[in-house]
Structure 1
Amino acid sequence: MRSAAENQQRFIKYAKLVLYTIFIVILAGSIVRTTHSGMGCPDWPHCFGRWIPPLNAGQLPPDFEKYLKKQDIDHTFNAFHTWIEYLNRMLTVLLGIFIVLLNFMAWKIYRKTRPAIFIWALSLFVLVGFEAWVGKVVVNSNLGVLLITAHMIPALIIAGVCVYMIHLVHGKPFIINKPLKWLTWLAFVLVFIQILIGTEVRAEVDHVSKALRYTARETWLSQVGDALHIHELFAWVASLSCIFVVGKSFNHKETQKIGLLVLISLVAELFLGLIMTQMQMPAFAQPLHLLFSSIIIVALFSLLLRARIS
């Protein structure tokens, strides 16, 4: 029989696996959006009426026309788009399986001694179910721009809940000084606002790209309104706040790793932002840009949970 300490470490490791999978799902979802593969499977939960999608046009069902007419690009079968979207769905299913197993572990280990941990694990299951439902609504709406953005928000909440569970199991908060605590709060709020502005930029890019039938990619950003300029300027404000947090976090051994993660993600985020604005928004940069912004805000949330005024 495992000791309480062994069970704790086992649960934390598995919760971290769930957290890493969440980031992979966020990345996969962004790749779907960047490659315009969202309607690669025009129905949900099936794909062209099948559980396993076709590999070529010859495998389409007899009534395939009713599926293709839902698409917003060229109304033809594209195996690349279909399988990009299908793999994204499979990763979400995998995340759901991991969360079910995490619920089982929480029930087995903590249902009697720390029921709050099991309740939070159960909330993850509910949130993933909600995320799947939002995905169905997105498909039914033929990729409504606002709904696509809303599809990302539950994923960040799921990541936050997962981090909170790890914090609960870990136990004691780290003792840090008052300036770091309030600087972290400031950075968290500013990064969150920056993400919201970024979603507005992405929504405008989606409108432009769809109007151009996903051609002339190099002109998309030039047709975006003031939101892009606000996003670029505010990026430096949010980045400066993160840099102050990183500097303060390096003064404490317990927070150095999170500070380093924020710093690496911030440098990558700024570099990718410059690539997108200076190199006509290459497709590879968009998913990574979203991934690193997600890592930054989740890392800041983790730092807040560990903070206590000394």
Structure 2
Amino acid sequence: MTDSSLIDDTPALKSWRRIALITICAVYFLILVGATVRASGAGMGCPDWPTCFGSWIPPVSESQLPANYQEIYADRGYAETRFNPVKTWTEYVNRLVGVSIGLFILITAVKSIGLRRHDRWITIASVAALLMVIYQGWLGSRVVASNLQPGMITVHMLMALAIVGVLLFALARSRRGIVAARSIDGLDRRFKPWLYAVMAMTVVQITMGIQIRELMDYLNHVQGADRSTWISAQQWVFYVHRSFSAVVLFSNVWLVWLAYRSLGLHHSITRLAGGVLAVIGLAVISGATLGHLGMPALVQPLHLLSASLIFGLQFLLWMDYRHATGQQSGGGHQAAIA
């Protein structure tokens, strides 16, 4: 039997959930912007941090820089630093978006404090996300200091996904009463093991994608290879990753079918599973475009964003399924403990 206090959707909870949704969307936007920066080669558009060419507002032309600025940055370990207004301002906008995300997460954490009596895990997760984004800002400075070392870029990206995961955990906790009120008694028993299976497939697929991206970073930043040669230089992981995408796609088709046949189209579990499937379709199309058209720079951010969305939506689907079946995580609802 569901605790009635779990279903209570207070104005404070609704208000926090709105800002949390905005914050999560903003983090995904930052992932897209960051991927665009990387694909366009603008990562070192600002060779210093937190300033850009020594100023809080970057220059718009090379004439605004010292005549020996290239020597200055060469002495700091940045070889062949050449001012490019497009790359500089692209990276600068990326940083401004990052600062905005920090403000959104700060607001989310502050507003969550009032919900600690409703569910302390919402507050804990929100504050944890704030601490993580502070660390992410420091990590961003290390990425610049490392001159875009591929390993550092990957850690930076994984940290962004971790922030998304923590925020989604808090969001799922805030709506668990709503989810628990919707019956899933008729859900096919195969749904649970299949959900875990497709989540495991996603982890494997993303892991292979990270390895492929590491190699592309090496080809781009170390060897300076032309994009048209990146495919021919790929190792076996690339071909397994490409073929495995079909397995992931059809496995999720079956998951959606199980939910649809059991719960109908309008149930939130079915809709979330369908959302995952739609984004997987986008990832497959963008991946095929990358593989067959010589890694076009404009498609890379879309492929990375779709992979990040798959991770987030599957995590939210898993949380909703747990809450719908009454599998509450530690800490519980404070009113239920009283």
**TM-score, reference length from structure 2:** 0.85
CA distance in 1, matches of 2:102, 2:222: 35
Q: How does 1:175-194 map to 2 (within 5 A)?
A: 175=184, 176-194=187-205
Q: Which deviations, in whole Å up to 9, do the C-alpha atoms of 1:257-305 show, x marking residues without a partner? A: 2122112111111111111111111111100001011111111111110
Q: Is 2:98 aligned against 1:92?
A: yes
Instruction: Kindly indicate whether the alpha-carbon contact (under 8 Å) linking 1:37 and 1:81 is maintained by their aligned counterparts in 2.
Output: yes
Q: Which deviations, in whole Å up to 9, do the C-alpha atoms of 1:1-28 show, x marking residues without a partner? A: xx96222211111111011011101111
Q: Using a 3 Å threshold, how does the CA distance of structure 1 residues 256 and 106 change in structure 2: closer, same or farther? A: same
**1:213: Cα distance to partner?**
2.6
CA distance in 2, matches of 1:18, 1:178: 35
**What residue number does 1:166 align with?**
171
Q: Is 2:201 aligned against 1:201?
A: no
**What residue number does 1:220 align with?**
230
The match for 2:288 among 256, 274, 288 is 274
**TM-score, reference length from structure 1:** 0.92
Larger CA deviation: 241-250 vs 129-138: 241-250
Q: Which deviations, in whole Å up to 9, do the C-alpha atoms of 1:134-168 show, x marking residues without a partner? A: 11111111111111111111111111111111111
Instruction: Kindly indicate whether the alpha-carbon contact (under 8 Å) linking 1:208 and 1:224 is maintained by their aligned counterparts in 2.
Output: no
Identity over aligned residues, as a percent? 30
CA distance in 1, matches of 2:156, 2:237: 21
Unaligned runs of 5+ in 1: none
CA distance in 2, matches of 1:4, 1:295: 27
Instruction: Kindly indicate whether the alpha-carbon contact (under 8 Å) linking 2:276 and 2:314 is maintained by their aligned counterparts in 1.
Output: yes
CA distance in 1, matches of 2:88, 2:292: 31
CA distance in 1, matches of 2:14, 2:210: 37
Q: Which deviations, in whole Å up to 9, do the C-alpha atoms of 1:211-238 show, x marking residues without a partner? A: 4535x32111111222211211222222
**1:29: Cα distance to partner?**
0.9
**What residue number does 1:237 align with?**
247
Unaligned runs of 5+ in 2: 1-7, 327-338
**1:54: Cα distance to partner?**
1.0
Q: How does 1:30-179 map to 2 (within 5 A)?
A: 30-61=35-66, 64-65=69-70, 66-67=72-73, 70-71=77-78, 74-107=80-113, 109-172=114-177, 173-174=179-180, 175=184, 176-179=187-190
Q: Which of these two proteins has the greater Rg computed from alpha carbons? A: 2
The match for 1:28 among 33, 42, 56 is 33
CA distance in 2, matches of 1:211, 1:159: 31
Q: 2:319 is matched by which residue type in structure 1?
A: L
Instruction: Kindly indicate whether the alpha-carbon contact (under 8 Å) linking 1:42 and 1:68 is maintained by their aligned counterparts in 2.
Output: no
**1:171: Cα distance to partner?**
2.5
CA distance in 2, matches of 1:79, 1:68: 19
Q: Count the aligned residue pairs.
A: 305
CA distance in 2, matches of 1:191, 1:55: 43
Q: 2:200 is matched by which residue type in structure 1?
A: V
Instruction: Kindly indicate whether the alpha-carbon contact (under 8 Å) linking 2:188 and 2:259 is maintained by their aligned counterparts in 1.
Output: no
Instruction: Kindly indicate whether the alpha-carbon contact (under 8 Å) linking 1:208 and 1:220 is maintained by their aligned counterparts in 2.
Output: yes
